[in-house]
Amino acid sequence: MSRDYNIKELRIFAEEIRVETLKEFKALGFGHVGGSMSVVEVLAVLYGSVMNIDPKNPSWEDRDRLVMSKGHAGPALYATLALKGYFPIEQLKTLNKPGTNLPSHADMNRTVGVDMTTGSLGQGFSIAIGLALAARALKKTWRTFVIVGDGECNEGQIWEGARLASHQKLDNIICFVDWNKKQLDGYIDEVSGGGNLEERFGAFGWHVQQVDGHDIEEIMNAVDNAISTNGIPSCIVLNTIKGRGCTIAENVENNHSITFTDEAIDSAIAEAEKILNAARRGEI
């Protein structure tokens, strides 16, 4: 398969994830739309090309692991897993409803294909580092990928983990920071002063890159560079837009978790489906 064809397929996959995630929210009537929409492309790259996984054997010991440390983006992860065949797509309509296996935040005990339970911000990052250490101790070749939020980087636990990973020279972990500039109650810089994330991770001894988090090819190239970097952990800062691709969230200031009317979400889904169809035609 040529790289150009692969990129096209990954763009289609990303838009499919976006559409299915929006349909999840329609069934529920509210949810963490903003932070789910901003991680769609990185999920498409990881599950569509990079990660060594087997949806038919989700507990395969030698699989790569993905820790969604910003657990409120679980709906986007669920859509990705369903599209990859971990469970029926129809199950997405049960998001956060009584008896569901798809709770609001990612839960490995409830959802097939979820590698780690997350939601308390900062903890997923620490667990991911533990998984990377475990792979080394067990002499396994699988990699750990972890997605953290920029607001989540306010947690001291992130920086304790960053120092440990660097000290341990964990080159089998790649961290993605979803730099969408916002957290639950406002803009990062206004709430706590996020600073330069590249410089901060770099100061802790990580190999750092910044890319357009909605550009499939840039993400792919950055992952390739990270995998070829030996002796230190890697961080890829994803410059993203919170709510990207959702007409009722992208340009809304407070879009961490939103409610909406049926008419509004139907319109957003229709617009997302137009973009998906354009991707299928090779127009984007």
Interatomic CA distance for residues 265 and 261, integer angstroms: 6
Q: How many residues does the chain have?
A: 284
pLDDT band at 3 (very low <50, low <70, confident <90, very high): low
pTM of the model: 0.96
Please report, for the chain, the start and end positions of each structural domain, with discontinuous segments joined by +.
3-280
**How much of the chain, in percent, has pLDDT values that exceed 70?**
98
pLDDT at 270: 98
Interatomic CA distance for residues 46 and 10, integer angstroms: 10
Nearest to 196 by CA among 243, 237, 162, 256: 237
Interatomic CA distance for residues 36 and 263, integer angstroms: 20
What the block records as the tokens of 73 is 């983006």
pLDDT per residue as tens digits for the range 14-69: 999 999 999 999 999 999 999 999 999 999 999 999 999 999 999 999 999 999 99
Does domain 3-280 sit in CATH 3.40.50.970? yes
| pLDDT of 186 higher than 90 | no
What the block records as the tokens of 152 is 């989540």
Mean residue pLDDT of the chain comes to 95
pLDDT per residue as tens digits for the range 59-118: 999 999 999 999 999 999 999 999 999 999 999 999 999 999 999 999 999 999 999 999
pLDDT per residue as tens digits for the range 118-140: 999 999 999 999 999 999 999 99
Residue type (1 letter), 259: T
Interatomic CA distance for residues 246 and 152, integer angstroms: 23
Interatomic CA distance for residues 204 and 212, integer angstroms: 23
| pLDDT of 159 higher than 80 | yes
